[in-house]
């Protein structure tokens, strides 16, 4: 694992050591960020205005009024959720001027938010990039032929073995290692269905199809990853101001090229969220702030480690 010396300096201290984490797809909803107090209206308007200029449609209207089916189209979801995350990050920074996070991380799409927050990637470029990422992902697999499912209540190695056993030449594999006992799989629809049946037979508490149109983080996204790599060649990146832990291997990166590679690999490889959170905790992080709509990552975090503090910042600032 590559770790910034700046992060290690904080490890083992008694004072609060915090990291900021950013959610990905699944946290979006009509009216998201409505809990933010009126005092932050200008912050919301500023970032939504920038995103709207890049995308060519009214981001604020889509967030406030939908329609839901449009918001949930991955090419819209990704830039709109990145915008919501950026708003929450801006509010968090304004409310905690003397609190420096020792690391950032984001779940899937949220990794781009982490890079924006770390000043590695410009916001406007990130908005355009993830909108294109969403389109590439949607185009990579014909609608209805791929899917994702959450398997609850089985050890990871059991689910991994089930995927190998039922593949039958198709793609089905772990996609999101979200928390102990919660593993999302992705791949060809028929293979995912077979894996769900086998998981239930093996004692899974639940095995359920997720309401997504794209089988993310599996081999079916390899071509989308290659195309994303071409787009990234034209994007200006800087080394991050804060250490950013990446999904593919729960590590930081030392070079611009390795950051690009991690973003490409992420599309076709599983999100190592549990390992990422455990790595940060091992290095001394004892407070996690989720900067984005909802509390999905806060819920996962409490399943990963109950001894550290997990804060859904939208909920905290809205109280």
**Residue linked to tokens 């689910």:** 159
Helices and strands per DSSP (H, E), number in the chain: 14, 9
CA angle 99, 105, 111 (to 5 degrees): 130
Catalytic residue numbers, as ranges = 108, 217
What is the layout of strands, in order, in the sheet containing 18-22?
Answer: 244-245, 103-106, 18-22, 287-290, 309-312
244 neighbors 252 (Cβ within 8 angstroms): yes
116, 126 contact by CB (below 8 A): yes
Q: Phi then psi for 206, rounded to 5 degrees?
A: -150, 150
What are the start-end ranges of the E strands in 153-217? 172-179, 182-188, 206-209
55 vs 6, 80, 220, CA distance in Å?
Answer: 36, 10, 27
Residues, the chain: 319
DSSP state of 291: -
Residues forming beta bridges with residue 182, ordered by sequence position: 152, 179
Beta bridge partners of 218: none
Residue 239: CB atoms within 10 A of its CB come to 14
């Amino acid at each position: 694992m590559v770790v910034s010396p700046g992060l290690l300096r904080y490890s083992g201290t008694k004072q609060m050591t915090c990291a900021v984490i950013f959610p990905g797809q699944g946290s979006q909803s009509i009216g998201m960020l409505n809990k933010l107090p009126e005092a932050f209206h200008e912050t919301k308007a500023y970032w939504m205005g920038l995103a709207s200029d890049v995308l060519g449609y009214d981001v604020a209207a889509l967030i406030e009024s939908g329609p839901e089916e449009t918001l949930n189209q991955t090419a819209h979801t990704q830039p709109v959720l990145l915008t919501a995350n950026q708003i929450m990050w801006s509010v968090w920074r304004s409310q905690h001027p003397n609190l420096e996070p020792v690391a950032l991380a984001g779940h899937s799409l949220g990794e781009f938010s982490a890079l924006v927050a770390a000043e590695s990637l410009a916001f406007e470029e990130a908005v355009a990039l993830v909108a294109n990422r969403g389109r590439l992902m949607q185009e990579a697999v014909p609608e209805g032929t791929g899917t994702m499912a959450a398997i609850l209540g089985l050890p990871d190695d059991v689910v991994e073995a089930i995927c190998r056993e039922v593949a039958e030449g198709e793609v089905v594999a772990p996609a999101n290692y979200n928390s102990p006992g919660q593993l999302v799989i992705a791949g060809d629809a028929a293979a995912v269905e077979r894996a769900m049946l086998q998981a239930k037979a093996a004692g899974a508490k639940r095995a359920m199809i997720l309401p997504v149109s794209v089988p993310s983080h599996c081999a079916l996204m390899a071509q989308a990853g290659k195309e994303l790599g071409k787009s990234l060649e034209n994007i200006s990146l800087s080394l991050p101001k804060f250490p950013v832990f990446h999904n593919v291997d729960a590590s930081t990166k030392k070079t611009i090229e390795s950051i690009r590679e991690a973003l490409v690999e992420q599309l076709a490889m599983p999100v190592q969220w549990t390992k990422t959170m455990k790595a940060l905790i091992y290095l001394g992080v004892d407070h996690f702030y989720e900067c984005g709509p909802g509390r999905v990552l806060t819920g996962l975090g409490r399943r990963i480690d109950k001894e550290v503090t997990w804060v859904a910042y939208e909920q905290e600032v809205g109280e």
